[in-house]
Chains A and B, each alone.
Chain A
Amino acid sequence: MSHDIHLHHITRIEGHGNIVLNIREGRIEELRLEIVESPRFFEVMVKGRHITEAPHITSRICGICAISHTSASVKACEAALGITPSETVVLLRKVLLNAETLQSHILHLYLLVAPDFFRVGSVIPLAKTHPDIVKRGLRLKKTANEICRILVGRHVHPIGMTIGGFTKMPTQKDLQEVRKVLEAAIPDMEETVRLFEGLEIPEFNRETRYCSLHDEGEYALYDGTLYSKDTPLTEVTQYREFITEEVIEYSTAKHVRSGDNSIMVGALARLNNNHAHLSPEAKETAARLSLSLPCTNPFMNNAAQVVESVHCIYDSLRLLDLLFENTPLPPSSGTEFKHLSGTEFNSVPPKIIRAGLGVGVVEAPRGTLYHEYGVDERGMIQSVNCIIPTAQNLANIEKDIRAIVPMILGLPKEEIERTLEMLTRAYDPCISCSTHFLEVKFVE
């Protein structure tokens, strides 16, 4: 049996990618997941700019995970400058990161994945056949956008997040509004779990190395140590001992490995590593979706996204309780949190600018995101390194395709194509993100 499969510009993923697969006499002769997105050269763009501009410029790496890029960026800047943000600031950033994770997963599940389950080409025909489902997805997506609007102006690209804190601190009234938005989303989230309970997931298992942040105290998204089952816990500053990158001729995004292994990052990897710290509601969701952990079926990444979405809502409600506890002001409308000194973007006092090197790592919706900047004594950026989740998954997706193709060879060509697109899409690749980087020169 021979097939030439060339899926040009895989659809319903973020960015431009192709799958090239030649099968001769039942054997794979050639297989490439080509990333053809134009490289953007962010490390060149940021070089020579002032460190206070880095969060705004690097947010433009990705419209979908702008909060994650901004978070990793402010953390890297703070590490370079030796600034420790207050607990209030960290709690608010965690609420924002939860919101982005929720928005990104919901966008993927409802607008990009659901059409596969209903066997339609996109959300547009789905809106005709199943309008209630599409409207529910949009409502949940809006939940996250609303939270970002209230706290930092908008989701694409957040305005108020800055080195040391926020340009405009939210008020208690804002927090009450956020709580209301989250509570209103619970019934829709419940319906979402029910929807995904009934969906069939292809049976396919392949063990790989699952990498993520890890924290002993909570489900790690904003902070933690680098973790995989088979490697020693690694501080984020030592990330080059944890993963390595290589240039691939047919991919404008680099591939990432851990030792000789391809790795998987993202929702399923995080659940495999950190499920003990999920909220009770999210643990219950995992059970309802028959997601027994650890899980080695990459298609289950979609179920893992549902579980994390539930977690993000309940975890944010917990964070809000902490914020209200920490703020000894009466919860009357218009009462502002105390402004933090030296937090405003264009008023970072010159005395805190110093030469340094900083690493900032967060869990973006699609996996671990690394930013590293070296700055000189004037605060001008001399070196930049960013490693993007999708780049970390590419080698693993190729390995999965290699493993699944022999199992589906007997199917018609269209079914093989559909399965491969579904497999790639299950990873929720964000390709425009993954094609800009990498420089390994540092300030002496």
Chain B
Amino acid sequence: MKPKIGVFSFTSCEGCQLQVLNLEDELPALLGQIEFVNFREAMSEKGEDYEIAFIEGSITRESEIEELKRIRERAKVLIAFGACAHLGGVNVLKNFHPQSTWLSSVYGRTDLFSDTISTRRIKDVVSIDFVIPGCPVDKKEFLRFVQGLLLNIKPILPDYPVCVECRSRGNICLVEEGKWCLGSVTRAGCEAICPTYREACAACRGLVEEPNIESLCNILMANGLSKEEIQAKFNLFNGLEVIAFPP
């Protein structure tokens, strides 16, 4: 019996779903091993008999809470799929502004779509079994994860920082060049793709278990960033995480 999978999308750009479709070489073989029963972006059939639910996106409306709870009841395994589901992601940036301004600034009135709520992570609403992190998810990591499910091996995320992968790729360190980068406290697994393209790591995969925030802050402040600017960088993807910034 092939495991039955549902892919569900809440508030997001749907880019993580697209990463699944971006597995062009592997997709035909993958479809021989698993069965998608619900994947609205790709198919018309809407099955309710899924065992494994991949949840993309954050929760930002009252109606989404009910729908997510319904999926949780049906699914044996529920996975927070991508940074919006895992951390809230960029959707959390709106939480830093007063709720009263959201609707008025977009629609010019506040009587429409008023069930909008502050952005929540999936784990704030239902229990989750696993996380596939990243903005977007790394498609190879998704593939390893599915292979694990098929072989009944519990997937493990690396608990070392992006710096480890970045060094092993021989990249020049952005922080040593006097710039900002959050790779030293961010969970690896992305092969340090952003610093490899000379772009700062913005911690889209979340933080390692014991991040040395104080040490990173000291270095970034020496590079000319203010405490507020450093916090703002963490807020890009980790606005809901409790981070112990030095006083």
Instruction: State A259–B89 Cα separation when bound (angstroms).
Output: 38
User: Looking at chain A, what size class is its interface with the partner chain?
Assistant: 35 or more
Q: Which of B24, B89, B199 contacts A60 (CB 8 A)?
A: B89
Given contacts A153-B194, A249-B112, A439-B105, contact A135 B15 (CB under 8 A): no
Q: A313 to chain B: closest CB distance in Å?
A: 17
List, in ascending order, chain B residues with CB within 8 A of A221's CB.
Answer: none
Known contacts A64-B15, A344-B198, A157 near B42 by CB under 8 Å: no
> Is B164 positioned at the interface, with any CB of A under 8 Å from its CB?
no
Inter-chain CA distance A62–B41, complex, in Å, is: 13
> B179 contacts which chain A residues (CB < 8 A)?
344, 346-347
* Contact B41 A139, beta carbon cutoff 8 Å: no
Contacting B at CB under 8 A, from A47-74, are 47-50, 53, 56-57, 60-64, 66
Q: Are A9 and B24 in contact (CB under 8 A)?
A: no
- For A107, A134, A154, A249, the residue with the greatest tally of chain B CB atoms inside 10 Å of its CB is A154
Beyond A49-B93, A247-B112, whether A41 also contacts B106 by CB under 8 A is: yes
- Give the nearest-CB partner of A439 in chain B: B105
A14–B14 touching, CB < 8 Å: yes
Closest to A158 in B: B197
By beta carbon, the residue of chain B nearest A128 is: B31
Contacts of A168 in B (CB 8 A): 197-198
Q: How far is the CA of A9 from the CA of B46 in the complex (A)?
A: 10
B13 touches A142 (CB 8 A): no
Is A15 among interface residues, defined by CB-CB distance under 8 A? yes
Interface string of B187-207 (1 = CB under 8 A from A): 000000110111110100000
In residues 10-27 of chain B, which contact A (Cβ within 8 Å)?
A: 10-19, 21-22, 24-25, 27
| B197 adjacent to A157 (CB under 8 Å) | no
Report yes or no: B136 in contact with A157, Cβ–Cβ below 8 A: yes
For B45, give the chain A residue with the smallest CB separation.
A121
Cα(A121)–Cα(B47), bound, Å? 12
A270 at interface (Cβ–Cβ under 8 A)?
no
Please encode chain B, from 85 to 116, with 1 for each CB lying within 8 Å of some chain A CB and 0 for all others: 00001110110110001100111110011001
User: In the complex, are the beta carbons of B180 and A63 less than 8 A apart?
Assistant: no
From DSSP, what is the main secondary structure of chain A's interface residues? loop
A111: which B residues are within 8 A, CB to CB?
21, 42
Chain A residue nearest in CB terms to B82: A63
Name the B residues within 8 Å of A107 (CB-CB).
Answer: 21
CB 8 Å contact bits of B128-170 with A (1 = contact, 0 = none): 0000000110000000000000000000000000000000000
In the complex the two chains form, what is the Cα distance from A66 to B181 in whole Å? 22
Residue of B nearest to A13 (CB): B41
Complex contact B44–A38 (CB within 8 A): no
Report yes or no: B42 in contact with A12, Cβ–Cβ below 8 A: yes
A336 to B128, CA, bound (A): 46
Decide if B11 touches A38 in the complex (CB within 8 Å).
Answer: yes
A44 to B106, CA, bound (A): 8
* B95 shortest CB reach to chain A, Å: 9
**Is A121 touching B44 in the complex (CB atoms < 8 A)?**
yes
- A138 to B60: give the CA distance in the assembly, Å: 33
Q: Which residues of chain B are within 8 angstroms of A252 by Cβ–Cβ distance?
A: 113
Q: Give chain A interface residues in 1-23, CB to chain B under 8 Å.
A: 9, 11-16
Are B40 and A11 neighbours in the complex by a CB distance under 8 Å? yes
Q: Type the 1/0 row for A327-344, where 1 means its CB is closer than 8 Å to any CB of B.
A: 000000000000000001
A43 close to chain B: CB less than 8 A: yes
Verify if B28 is at the interface (C-beta below 8 Å from A). Answer: yes
| Any B CB within 8 A of the CB of A94 | no
Q: Which residues of B contact A186 (CB under 8 A)?
A: none
Whether the pair B197, A153 counts as a contact (CB closer than 8 A) is: yes
Q: Which residue of B27, B91, B197 is within 8 Å of A167 (Cβ)?
A: B197
If A46-B93, A122-B43 are given as contacts, then 7 extra A-B residue pairs at C-beta distance below 8 Å, sorted by A number, are A38-B60, A63-B16, A124-B36, A156-B22, A344-B179, A345-B199, A433-B13
Interchain Cβ contacts under 8 Å between A and B, 11 examples: A16-B40, A44-B97, A45-B94, A49-B232, A63-B15, A121-B44, A141-B21, A153-B196, A155-B22, A168-B198, A432-B12
